[in-house]
Amino acid sequence: MNEQHNPADIQPLHGRTIVVTGGNAGLGYFASEQLAAAGAHVVIAARDPAKAAAAASAITARIPGARISCEPLDLASLDSIHKAVASLARLDRIDALLANAGVIGSPTRRDTADGFELQFGTNHLGHYALICGLLPELERHRARIVHVGSISHRWVRPDFRSAAHPERYSSYRQYALSKLAVMSFGFELARLLQLSGSGVSSVVAHPGYARSMFTPSRQGIEARPHPGRVQQLLARPLAQGKDDGARPLVHAAGGPDVRSGEYWGPDGFFQLTGRPAPVRPGPHALERNAASRLIDLSRDLTGARLPL
């Protein structure tokens, strides 16, 4: 399939505005490119204005006439989130929020500007606060929120009590716990929105096993060095590029067959690779009591309250 054309599995998105957090690199970049190819006005919300501008230039170079704009947003700072909410609220419309940005791994513990462990603070708490702030605007156009999960959620359990301030730091556990939190919140939010009669939908999606080594290059977009041929041959049956990994996220954001509360990912073996399809999460991601406690914790930590 020609990457410059509308992905075959979503309808044209002309006239729609979709905000993509972290749309300047990796999965977020390719999601932005694919959404722009489908005709959407894409707002790249990113921490680094120069990188966001480079991503916008790369997209318009491939898709002449693409509508791309940029919004400063640092999800590791509640102050930055509040400013972004005020700015995004001035858009004519927001039809979808693709909450994609995230921190993946840190060898040593690092904290957000507000003192939360960086991965949990950015991946979950930052997006939680952003969604709380934008929900009134999303309601205006019955928008769709897409939360980006991960296969890694399977390896941890929903004990979020000390996630923002862990006594012992494990980079992998903190990442997996942050993604489980993202998913638990996404599924519980779908239930709360339905109970309140809201027209907003909440969907969770994941990219499978998306690796840089299989990802096409883009001018001006940061890419990591590719490993040797042997490593690529070993990984090929189990991995796909970030362009393909972005497709479940894009479908979740714009697909006409997507319903609130669903979980979308690749349809292949162990959800590692494949075409976008509804898939099953680990049952612990659906534990309502844990999700309810997570929302209470997130409210207490950030001061942000869901307006439901």
Given a contact cutoff of 8 angstroms between Cβ atoms, the answer to whether 7 and 34 are in contact is yes
For residue 136, what are its two tokens?
A: 């009134």
For residue 266, what are its two tokens?
A: 């690749």
3 domain residue, yes or no: no
266 domain residue, yes or no: yes
Q: What percent of the chain has pLDDT over 70?
A: 92
Which residues form the domain of 153?
17-302
308 domain residue, yes or no: no
Query: Closest by alpha carbon to 250, among 22, 3, 27?
Result: 27
The amino acid sitting at 139 is E
The CA distance from 62 to 4, in Å, is 6
Write down the catalytic residue from 128, 175, 209, 263.
175
Tally the domains of the chain: 1
Q: What is the pTM of this model?
A: 0.94
For residue 303, what are its two tokens?
A: 């001061």
CA dihedral 87, 89, 92, 93 (to 10 degrees): 130
Q: For 58-91, what is each residue's pLDDT tens digit?
A: 999 999 999 999 999 999 999 999 999 999 999 9
Neighbours of 261 (CB within 10 A): 17
- DSSP for 265-294 reads EE-SGGGSSSSEEE-PPPGGGG-HHHHHHH
- Cα-trace Rg, the chain: 18
Residue 287 belongs to domain with CATH number: 3.40.50.720
Q: What's the confidence (pLDDT) of residue 60?
A: 97
118 domain residue, yes or no: yes
135 domain residue, yes or no: yes
Per the annotation, the verdict on 169 as an active-site residue is: no
Instruction: Give CA separation, 180 vs 37, 113, 149, 151, 175, in Å.
Output: 31, 22, 7, 9, 9
Q: What's the confidence (pLDDT) of residue 235?
A: 58
The CA distance from 128 to 207, in Å, is 20
Q: What's the confidence (pLDDT) of residue 234?
A: 62
Q: What's the confidence (pLDDT) of residue 6?
A: 47
Given a contact cutoff of 8 angstroms between Cβ atoms, the answer to whether 179 and 155 are in contact is no
12 domain residue, yes or no: no
Query: Closest by alpha carbon to 158, among 285, 288, 302?
Result: 285
59 domain residue, yes or no: yes
Q: What's the confidence (pLDDT) of residue 155?
A: 94
Q: What's the confidence (pLDDT) of residue 285?
A: 98
6 domain residue, yes or no: no
Neighbours of 289 (CB within 10 A): 9
Q: For 111-156, what is each residue's pLDDT tens digit?
A: 999 999 999 999 999 999 999 999 999 999 999 999 999 999 999 9
Instruction: Print burial letters for 152-176: b (CB count within 10 Å at least 16), e (below 16).
Output: bbbebebebeebbeeeeeebebbbb
- Report, as ranges of residue numbers, the positions in the chain whose pLDDT lies below 50: 1-6, 8
